[in-house]
Structure 1
Amino acid sequence: MPPAVSFQHVSRHFGQVRAVDDVSLDIAEGEFFAMLGPSGSGKTTCLRLIAGFEQPTSGHIEIFGETAEGLPPYKRNVNTVFQDYALFPHMTVGENVAYGLMIKGVARAERERQALDALAMVKLAGFDQRRPSQLSGGQRQRVALARALVNQPKVLLLDEPLGALDLKLREQMQEELKVLQKQLGITFVFVTHDQGEALSMADRVAIFNDGRIVQAGTPEDVYERPRSRFVADFVGSSNVLPPAFAAAHGGAAAWTSLRPEKIRLLGPGEPPRPQQETASGVVVSVQYQGAVTRLAVDAAGTRLVAAIPAGSATIREGDSVTLAWDQASPVAMEAA
Structure 2
Amino acid sequence: MIEISNVRKSFRDVDVLKGISLTIEDHEIYGIVGQSGAGKSTLLRCINGLEPYDSGEITVDGALVNSRDKSALRGLQKRMGMIFQNFNLLERLDVYGNIALPMKFWGINTRSQESRDKIEELIRLVGLEDKAHMKPRQLSGGQKQRVAIARALVLDPQFLLCDEATSALDPEITKGILALLQKINREMGITVVVVTHQMEVVKQICGRVAFLYNGSVLSQGKPEEMFIKPAEKEIQSFLRDKSELLPRTGVNIQVFFVGEGSNEPVITQMARELGKDFSICWAKLEDFRENIYGSLVLNIDEADREQVCNFLSSKKVAWEVLT
Aligned-partner residue type, residue 106 of structure 2: K
Structure 1 residue 259 displacement after superposition? 7.3
CA separation in 2, counterparts of 1:102 and 1:190?
27
The correspondence for 1:323, drawn from 289, 299, 302, is 299
The correspondence for 1:64, drawn from 53, 61, 70, is 61
Q: Which fold has the larger relative contact order, with Cα–Cα distance below 8 Å and residues 6 or more apart in sequence?
A: 2
Residues 195, 236 of structure 1: 8 Å contact kept: no
Q: Deviations over 1:203-228 (max 9, x none)?
A: 10111100011111112111233231
1:90 correspondence with 2:92: yes
Residues 225, 331 of structure 1: 8 Å contact kept: no
Residues 252, 321 of structure 2: 8 Å contact kept: no
Structure 1 residue 74 displacement after superposition? 3.1
Structure 1 residue 331 displacement after superposition? 5.3
Q: Summarize the Cα distance change of 1:92–1:58 in structure 2 as closer, same or farther, 3 Å threshold.
A: same
Q: Deviations over 1:277-301 (max 9, x none)?
A: 9689xxxxxxxxxxxxxxxxxxxxx
Give the match's secondary structure for 1:239: coil
Q: Deviations over 1:39-66 (max 9, x none)?
A: 0001111100011111111101101110
Give the match's secondary structure for 1:55: coil
Aligned-partner residue type, residue 227 of structure 2: Y
Aligned-partner residue type, residue 56 of structure 2: G
Structure 1 residue 103 displacement after superposition? 1.4
Aligned-partner residue type, residue 15 of structure 1: R
Give the match's secondary structure for 1:74: helix
State the aligned residue count: 279
Residues 162, 170 of structure 1: 8 Å contact kept: yes
Among all aligned residue pairs of Structure 1 and Structure 2, give the percentage whose two residues are the same amino acid: 28
Q: Which residue of 1 aligns with 2:40?
A: 43
Q: Give the structure-1-normalised TM-score.
A: 0.73
Give the match's secondary structure for 1:123: coil
CA separation in 2, counterparts of 1:308 and 1:273?
25
Give the match's secondary structure for 2:241: coil
Structure 1 residue 234 displacement after superposition? 2.0
Residues 203, 219 of structure 1: 8 Å contact kept: yes
CA separation in 2, counterparts of 1:122 and 1:86?
17
Q: Give the structure-2-normalised TM-score.
A: 0.76
Aligned-partner residue type, residue 230 of structure 2: P
Q: Deviations over 1:107-160 (max 9, x none)?
A: 222333221111111111242211111111111110000000111111110011
Residues 31, 194 of structure 2: 8 Å contact kept: yes
Q: How does 1:274-293 map to 2 (within 5 A)?
A: 274=274
Give the match's secondary structure for 2:129: coil
Q: Which residue of 2 aligns with 1:23?
A: 20
Q: Summarize the Cα distance change of 1:97–1:229 in structure 2 as closer, same or farther, 3 Å threshold.
A: same
Q: Summarize the Cα distance change of 1:275–1:84 in structure 2 as closer, same or farther, 3 Å threshold.
A: farther
CA separation in 1, counterparts of 2:124 and 2:105?
22
Q: Which residue of 2 aligns with 1:149?
A: 153
Q: Which residue of 2 aligns with 1:283?
A: none
1:187 correspondence with 2:191: yes
Point out the structure with the larger helix share: 2
Q: How does 1:209-288 map to 2 (within 5 A)?
A: 209-235=213-239, 237=241, 239=243, 249=251, 274=274
Give the match's secondary structure for 2:282: strand
Residues 255, 318 of structure 2: 8 Å contact kept: yes
Q: Which residue of 1 aligns with 2:295?
A: none
1:169 correspondence with 2:176: no
Q: Summarize the Cα distance change of 1:275–1:50 in structure 2 as closer, same or farther, 3 Å threshold.
A: farther
Q: Deviations over 1:247-273 (max 9, x none)?
A: x9598xxxxx8779x9xxx9xxxx897
The correspondence for 2:282, drawn from 282, 306, 318, is 306
CA separation in 2, counterparts of 1:147 and 1:158?
13
Residues 232, 240 of structure 1: 8 Å contact kept: no
Give the match's secondary structure for 2:131: coil
Give the match's secondary structure for 1:79: strand
